[in-house]
Amino acid sequence: MTRYHLNLFNDTDILDEEGQDFPNIAAAVAEAVRSARDIIAEHVLTGRTIHLQHRMEVTDPEGRLLSTVRFGDVVRFEQ
Amino acid sequence: MLQRSVLTEEEQAAICSLEGREAGIEPHRDIVRPGEHTDYSCLVVSGLAARFGQLRDGHRQITAIHIAGDMCDLYSLMLPKVEWAIQALSSPVKILKVPHRDLLKLVRAYPAVAEAFWRDCVADGSILAQWVVNVGRRDARMRTAHLLCELGVRMERAGLGRRDAYTLDIVQTQLADALGMTPVHMNRIIRGLREDGLLVTRRRDIHITDWAALAAAGGFEGGYLEYEDGPHRRL
C-alpha cells in the first residue's frame, strides 16, 4: 500500500494532510473521482452551484502532483 | 452498564467474577471475522472498535463504534455467527473475551443481569436506529455534527472525556466510513464546522467550542442515549 493525498480545490480548498493508503495510483485516482462525485452530489442535493473547473489533485507524500480530476470530467450532461 | 441498570452487590460481584481471556488487538485487525462462529462475547477494555459491513469492492459501512466499557457483541450470545465483522480502529484495542457458556450461566442465575444485558442491547439498537436516520436522511453536515455530539455524550458517560472535549483516535477513512461519505467530503464538512466556530480539531482531539450550535446543526437530541427513569429497578 502507498500513501496518497487527495486534495480538494472547491469553493474552499481542503488539503488532505493525513492521506489515504491505496494499492496503486489508479486506485487513488478512482477514489478522487468518487470523492468529486460525492461532493457534486451533495451540491446537487443542497442546490449549490457546481463549478466544472473545480478539481481534485492526487499527490504523493512529498506533495508531487500525480493526477488531476476535474469536476467536469466526472459528470455527464445531456440537453 | 451501571448507568443503565441497577445491580446489587452480589450481581455486580457475579459479573466481575466472570473469567475472560484478555486479548490485545493491533490496529485495523479483526476482532471477529465476518461469518466466524464465536463462543464468546467481547468487552472493550480500552481503545475503539467498530462493527462494519463490507462490499465486494472493498467499500465499508461502519455500523457501530464501540468505546471502552461497551460489550460490543452481546447479541452473539443468541446469534453466534453473523455476516458483519468487528475490527480494532486505528489504535490498539484491549478486549476481554467472555465465554458464552459463562454468560448464559450468569443470566440464568441472575435475572437482573439478563435485564441489564437486554438493556445494553436496546441501547445498541437505539444508536443504530439514529445512524440509519443519519445515513438515510441527514445531509453530510448534519450527520457529521450528529455523530460528533453522540460520541461526546457517550465518551463523557463512559468517563473517557467530556462531551465537548474528547479524543477520537481514528483515521479519516474510518470516520468517513461511519458517516457514509468519502473522506474528502467529510474533511470539507469538518472544515465548514470549524470555520463556523462550532469546533476545533487538533490531530485526534475534538474540542466542541459551541455545543448548542453543533447539536442544532446535527439535529442532535440525546434522549436516545438516556433512559427515562435513569437507572431503575423493579423489585
What is the domain extent for residue A54? Answer: 2-74
User: Chain A contact for B135, CB < 8 A?
Assistant: no
Of the residues B89, B123, B157, the one at which a domain ends: B123
d(CA A61, CA B118): 48
Q: Which amino acid is at B13?
A: A
Cβ–Cβ below 8 Å for A20 and B172:
yes
| Ranges of H-type helices in B49-110 | 100-109
Q: Which residue of A has its CA nearest to B191?
A: A14
pLDDT per residue as tens digits for the range B15-63: 888 888 899 999 999 999 888 899 999 999 999 999 999 998 889 999 9
User: Chain A contact for B171, CB < 8 A?
Assistant: yes
Q: How close does chain B come to A37, measured CA to CA in Å? A: 10
Task: State in Å, rounded, how far the first CA of chain B is from the last one.
Answer: 18
**Number of domains within chain B:** 2
pLDDT per residue as tens digits for the range A20-29: 999 999 999 9
Residue A76 has pLDDT above 60, yes or no: yes
Q: Which residue of A has its CA nearest to B195?
A: A12
pLDDT per residue as tens digits for the range B36-47: 899 999 999 999
Task: State in Å, rounded, how far the first CA of chain A is from the last one.
Answer: 42
Q: Which residues from A are below 8 Å from B140, CB to CB?
A: 42
Of B6-10, B104-108, B126-130, B219-223, give the lowest mean pLDDT range.
B6-10
Q: What is the pLDDT of residue B128?
A: 96
Of the residues B123, B154, B179, the one at which a domain ends: B123
Of the residues B98, B123, B148, the one at which a domain ends: B123
Q: Are residues B116 and B13 in the same domain?
A: yes
The C-alpha cell that represents B115 in the structure block: 435485564
Residue B228 has pLDDT above 60, yes or no: no
Residue B234 has pLDDT above 90, yes or no: no
Cβ–Cβ below 8 Å for A38 and B171:
no
Residue B144 domain-assigned (yes or no):
yes
Q: Are residues B41 and B87 in the same domain?
A: yes
Q: How close does chain B come to A17, measured CA to CA in Å? A: 10
Question: Left, alpha or beta for A3 (phi > 0: left; psi -120 to 50: alpha)?
Answer: beta
Q: Which of B143, B175, B182 to mutate to test the interface with A (most CBs of A within 10 A)?
A: B182
Q: Which residues from B are below 8 Å from A42, CB to CB?
A: 139-140, 185
Q: Which residue of A has its CA nearest to B171?
A: A18
Cβ–Cβ below 8 Å for B185 and A20:
no
The arithmetic mean of pLDDT across residues B135-149, rounded, is 96
Q: What is the pLDDT of residue B226?
A: 79
Cβ–Cβ below 8 Å for B182 and A34:
yes
Q: What is the pLDDT of residue B187?
A: 94
Q: How close does chain B come to A35, measured CA to CA in Å? A: 6
Longest CA–CA span in chain A (Å) reads 42
Q: Are residues B67 and B167 in the same domain?
A: no
Q: What is the pLDDT of residue B235?
A: 47
Q: What is the pLDDT of residue B1?
A: 75
What is the domain extent for residue B103? Answer: 9-123
d(CA A35, CA B183): 8
pLDDT per residue as tens digits for the range B77-98: 888 888 889 999 988 999 999 9
Q: Which residue of B has its CA nearest to A34?
A: B182
What's the ipTM? Answer: 0.92
Of B140, B181, B184, the CB nearest to A14: B184
**Number of domains within chain A:** 1
Residue A79 domain-assigned (yes or no):
no
Q: Are residues B37 and B105 in the same domain?
A: yes
